[in-house]
Each structure stands twice: as structure tokens, then as C-alpha cells.
């Protein structure tokens, strides 16, 4: 019997709703969630493929043995040599539990958010669609299509679109009135006279921390879009580190615990320098491929939780399927035991 259940897409910080299709209790596909206020039945390719992690989750790993091996490694080194890496892929309760675990053991705690930072007063998606001018940093139409949809709505409402991309093949360039491949600072300086209260800046990358300060100081609203579903929520719990800070910390790490992230795909670091890498992950990624110990965890489809999307809304979701897999919080309990 076919059944459809509602949940959230975990693919970025936009916070789209998706429907998951089950056949006799087994997940078989996704279907547009037409009544969800963020995406109104539209899902990008990442959203449609978001169930792949569940379909390809780890099944053959002995969790008890993996946890026992992890405990041995943690007991073999000084606390100052251990780094715990949490992620915007973790839900709010998980991030709090990871932080408490790291602090209770005097481990280093790390969180990386695309070299972006939290903005207290961010633009809503409706404000993007209703802006008179939209300044786009990054290929939002390709990388974050459901925010890109709001930029298209702004264009349809006669807004002028200024786009900055890393290449001349940016999809966003197709709707832009003016395009640039300059640095972020040059882009902002060149458009300083155009940016006013009717403007919104939407971005998913910057070149430096100074760019963030410059954006925050402008006379308009801004919307940073993160690559992880709960990065904005994580900012309320842990402090984000820059790429440089991450490199320095990893240089001084002997045992690295990675909670539900693919750090090897994000940070250009020689991970062979680290004696032991322990990954807590639901399915294979580039980090699990180089890990010494893998501890399987539940996918978001198998648990209840909440994410904070890019515009600051807390969105709750419920388990779509039952699972015997352990949650990150349950595994932390074992590591504390």
C-alpha cells in the first residue's frame, strides 16, 4: 500500500518541505509537497535525491564493536588532542548534546558554516521576492533553486538583478541585468551607489570575513544561504570557525570525531596527519572513506527533530519510518557511559 508522509528537505538551509513515498512501509521515492509555504510543491534535484542516503545507509557495521573501538581511542590520548566536529546537518537537540559532550570531556569543539556568519536581522523570502533590487552573490538559481525562485519573482515584479558569480557560466546570469566575475569586495564597491533600502543581498559565499562586515554595514537587508539545513540554528549553540581556524585546529588534532558531516569534502586539509578519524554517519561519504572507525546513525527520515532555516524559522519534522539504528544522542550516551 502506498503512503505519503511530510518532512523537511535536509539538503540546504532554505527549508523546503518534501513528501516521502512509502510502499508497504519502505521508502521508494519523493513527491512534491504542494502546501508547504517555503517551496509550494517545488523541489530541486538535491531535494528529490535527498532520500538516497537512507536507501544507501550502512547496514553491515557492528555498532557495539565500533563504539567500543571509539572509546579505546578516546582513552588513549589527552583530551586536548581530541576534536569534536558538529555540523549544520545535526538538528538542534543533537548540536546541544554534542556541545555538552565535548565540553564535559574537555575536547575541542568545531563547527564550520561555509565561512559565513549569522545575521541577526535577515531578509525573508517574501522580502527577496518584493525587493526593488536584488544583489546575488553565488549561483543561487543553480545551487539553491527555491531561493532562486524568489529572485525570479523579484525579476517578474520589475526588480533589477545584479549577479556575481565565480564563473561566466552562472545560471543566475541568465536573468541578471548586470553580471560580474570580480571579488565580492569589488562587486559591493562597484554597486555602492545602487544599494539602498529597496535592496536585498542574497549570498551563499564570500571571499573573506571583511566581506561579511561590509554586507552587514550596508543600508539594506541581507540573506545568507548555508549549505546545511541547520547551520543558522547551530549558531545559537556553538561558535563557527573560519577555514583558517579549522586548519590550525586540525593540525593539532590526533583523534577527530565527525558528527554527520563530510568535512573531507569541504576543507582542503591533509587528513593523513590525523591519527584516528571516527565518523558518525548514516551513509558513505568522502570522510567515511578515510575514517578508521565508522559508527552508523539514523538518517533524518528516522527521527524527530527541528532545523532553523535561512530566514530564521524553526521547522520541526517527524520520523517517516521506524528504525533500529541509534541516534547521535543515543551514541553520545554510550560514549559517556
The pLDDT tens digits for 134-156 are: 999 999 999 999 999 999 999 99
Cβ(181)–Cβ(156) below 8 Å: no
Strand partners for 18: 7, 32
Count of other CB atoms within 10 angstroms of residue 331: 23
E strand spans, the chain: 2-8, 17-23, 26-32, 82-86, 108-111, 133-137, 160-164, 178-180, 199-203, 221-224, 255-259, 276-281, 293-296, 305-308, 314-317
**Do residues 29 and 252 touch, judged by C-beta distance below 8 A?**
no
Are the C-beta atoms of 120 and 144 separated by less than 8 Å?
no
Pairwise CA distance, residues 16 & 212, whole Å: 25
Cell reading at 175: 536573468
Answer yes or no: is pLDDT of 221 > 90: yes
In the block, residue with C-alpha cell 556541545: 99
Residue with cell 525570479: 152
Q: Please check the confidence at residue 293 and state whether its pLDDT lies above 90.
A: yes
The 10s digit of each residue's pLDDT in 107-134 is 999 999 999 999 989 999 999 999 999 9
Which pLDDT value is given to residue 337? 72
Closest CA to 75 of 337, 281, 296, 280: 337
Report the 10 Å Cβ neighbour count for 25: 9
pLDDT for 41: 87
Confidence of residue 265 (pLDDT cuts 50, 70, 90): very high
Beta-carbon contacts of 170 under 8 Å, excluding residues fewer than 6 positions away, are 139, 142, 163, 179
C-beta separation of 296 from 57 below 8 A = yes
Closest of 9, 47, 54, 4 to residue 25, by C-alpha: 4
Least Cα distance to 283 among 271, 297, 293 occurs for: 297
Question: In the structure grid, which three cell numbers stand for residue 238, read together?
Answer: 556553538
Q: What is the pLDDT of residue 32?
A: 84
> What would the mean pLDDT of 282-295 be, rounded to a whole number?
98
pLDDT at 17: 94
Q: Is the pLDDT of residue 56 over 80?
A: yes
DSSP SS3 for 238: coil
pTM for this prediction? 0.94
Please say whether the beta carbons of 328 and 67 come within 8 A. no
Contact 131, 159 (CB under 8 A): yes
Residue with cell 553491515: 60
Amino acid at each position: 500500500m502506498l503512503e505519503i508522509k511530510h518532512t523537511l528537505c535536509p539538503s540546504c538551509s532554505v527549508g523546503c518541505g518534501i513528501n516521502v513515498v512509502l510502499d508497504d512501509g519502505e521508502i521508494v521515492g519523493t513527491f512534491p509537497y504542494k502546501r508547504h509555504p517555503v517551496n509550494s510543491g517545488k523541489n530541486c534535484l538535491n531535494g528529490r535525491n535527498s532520500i538516497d542516503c537512507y536507501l544507501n545507509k550502512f547496514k553491515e557495521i557492528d555498532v557495539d564493536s565500533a563504539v567500543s573501538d571509539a572509546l579505546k581511542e578516546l582513552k588513549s590520548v589527552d583530551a586536548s588532542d581530541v576534536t569534536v566536529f558538529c555540523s549544520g546537518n545535526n538538528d538542534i537537540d543533537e548540536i546541544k548534546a554534542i556541545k555538552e559532550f565535548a565540553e564535559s570531556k574537555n575536547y575541542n569543539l568545531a563547527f564550520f558554516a561555509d565561512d559565513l556568519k549569522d545575521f541577526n536581522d535577515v531578509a525573508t523570502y517574501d522580502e527577496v521576492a518584493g525587493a526593488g533590487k536584488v544583489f546575488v552573490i553565488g549561483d543561487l538559481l543553480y545551487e539553491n533553486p527555491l531561493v532562486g525562485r524568489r529572485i525570479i519573482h523579484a525579476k517578474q515584479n520589475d526588480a533589477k538583478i545584479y549577479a556575481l558569480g565565480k564563473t561566466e557560466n552562472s545560471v543566475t546570469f541568465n536573468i541578471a541585468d548586470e553580471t560580474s566575475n570580480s571579488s565580492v569586495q569589488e562587486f559591493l564597491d562597484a554597486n555602492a551607489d545602487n544599494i539602498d533600502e529597496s535592496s536585498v543581498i542574497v549570498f551563499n559565499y564570500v571571499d573573506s570575513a571583511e566581506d561579511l562586515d561590509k554586507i552587514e554595514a550596508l543600508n539594506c537587508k541581507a540573506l545568507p544561504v548555508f549549505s546545511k539545513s541547520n547551520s543558522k540554528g547551530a549558531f545559537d549553540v556553538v561558535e563557527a570557525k573560519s577555514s583558517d581556524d579549522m586548519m590550525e585546529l586540525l593540525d593539532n588534532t590526533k583523534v577527530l570525531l565527525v558528527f554527520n558531516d563530510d568535512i573531507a569534502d569541504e576543507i582542503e586539509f591533509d587528513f593523513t596527519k590525523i591519527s584516528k578519524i571516527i565518523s558518525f554517519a548514516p551513509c558513505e561519504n568522502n570522510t567515511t572513506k578515510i575514517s578508521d572507525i565508522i559508527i552508523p546513525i539514523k538518517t533524518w527520515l528516522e527521527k524527530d527533530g527541528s532545523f532553523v532555516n535561512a530566514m530564521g524559522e524553526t521547522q520541526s519534522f517527524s520520523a517517516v519510518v521506524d528504525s533500529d539504528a541509534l541516534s547521535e544522542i543515543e551514541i553520545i550516551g554510550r560514549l559517556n557511559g
